[in-house]
Amino acid sequence: MSLEIKTTIEINASSGKVWQVFTDFDSYPKWNPFIKKLIGNVEEGATIEIQLPGMTFKPNVQVYRKNSELKWLGHLLFKGLFDGQHRFQLIEKEGVTTFVHSEKFNGILVPLFKKKLISETKLEFEEMNRALKKRVEVTA
């Protein structure tokens, strides 16, 4: 089974400015309520460490396109049990950037976590989106 959660927010800044704030991973503890810490060299093929409230995991970076996209794939214990492909996209139009924050979940445990994913995880994504918007627009 698979499930996708997708959220968006409009940020009044260029994609370059949004990317600059979004990829300043050392500053995450100061403003990011969802991803508390991101450790590692974020480049395609690299393994990074992500610390969320109550959870740490080590996904593999699949896509890193400056000013436009970051995507990683993580697994719970082993592939196929509960996999999450987390994606961030920046789409700029006339000086306004749409920040798309999504995750596609696959695996045999997805039905077990479906209710929590739909309710809590979506809210956490939206909370991070709002915090990013605030940080970008205050520093723009």
Tens-digit pLDDT profile for residues 83-97: 999 999 999 999 999
Confidence of residue 140 (pLDDT cuts 50, 70, 90): low
Nearest to 8 by CA among 92, 132, 102, 100: 100
Percent of the chain with pLDDT over 90: 87
Q: What is the pLDDT of residues 14-68, one digit of tens each?
A: 999 999 999 999 999 999 999 999 999 999 999 999 999 888 999 999 999 999 9
Helices (H), the chain: 15-22, 28-31, 110-116, 122-139
CA atoms within 13 A on the CB side of 37: 10
CB atoms within 10 A of CB 65: 12
CB 13 within 8 A of CB 98: no
Q: How many structural domains are present in the chain?
A: 1
Residue range 93-106: mean pLDDT, rounded: 97
Distances (CA, A) of 70 to 9, 14, 22, 52, 66: 16, 17, 10, 17, 8
Read off the pTM.
0.93
CA distance 65 to 68: 6
Q: Which residue type does 20 have?
A: Q
Domain of residue 13: give its range: 2-139
CATH code (residue 11): 3.30.530.20
Copy the structure tokens of residue 62.
Answer: 């699949």
Q: Say how many residues make up the chain.
A: 140
- Chain center to CA of 70: 8
